[in-house]
Amino acid sequence: MFEIVASGGVVMIFLLILMALAMMIIGERFWSLRDKEIIPSDLPAQVIDWSKKKNLDAKHIEQLAENSPLGYLMAAALHKRHAPREQIVEAVEDAGRHVSHQLEKPLNWLSAIGEVSPLLGLLGTVIGMMKVFANIMEFGVGDANQLAGGISQALTTTAAGLIVAIPTVLFYRHFKNKIADQTIVMEQQVMQLIDSMSEKQ
């Protein structure tokens, strides 16, 4: 294994760093994007009940906002609960853009890694082929051992770049879709809260 990494040259070091960073982000997103963390199942009914009983104060709403992304959206609605429905919806939409940005922010790094890794692999390929041609100029084509190092670097870095990029892009798309699905669920549940508040007015 060490021989394979060493044959990739300096470029392989950067690819290994990107691989480690991608694995850290993927692990963190799997943990942070759990449904029970984003959209706690018992929260909507509880908040609607609080709203109906008028059992809400500023401190209570602030605690709700810190509970989860869903709680943040519901708190945005409750802050405007005495305003017309249109203003409540507008406040929730603004809060929703903030939540989506926060959930997707780490994914920008995954996207960058997925784009940069193949380019680094290509760079390693170019460097390897430059070594091959330099050896051909110096030793001719008769000595295969002189050519093997450059060819090995070219093939190793190309493969490594794709090995890093392919799963990174797949996980990026997975998390984007998961956030989109969770956003739809949050919108539906916040709209139910808004509807319940509108019925009281």
Provide the residue-wise pLDDT of the chain in tens; the chain has 201 residues: 555 555 657 888 899 999 999 999 999 999 999 999 999 988 888 887 776 666 677 777 888 888 899 999 999 988 888 888 888 889 999 999 999 999 999 999 999 999 999 999 888 888 877 776 676 666 665 555 655 555 766 788 888 899 999 999 999 999 999 999 999 999 998 888 888 776 655
C-alpha dihedral, 11 to 22 to 65 to 83, nearest 10°: 70
Integer Cα distance of 20 and 30 in angstroms? 15
Q: Which of 40, 51, 95 is nearest to 73 (CA)?
A: 95
What is the pTM (predicted TM-score) of this model?
Answer: 0.83
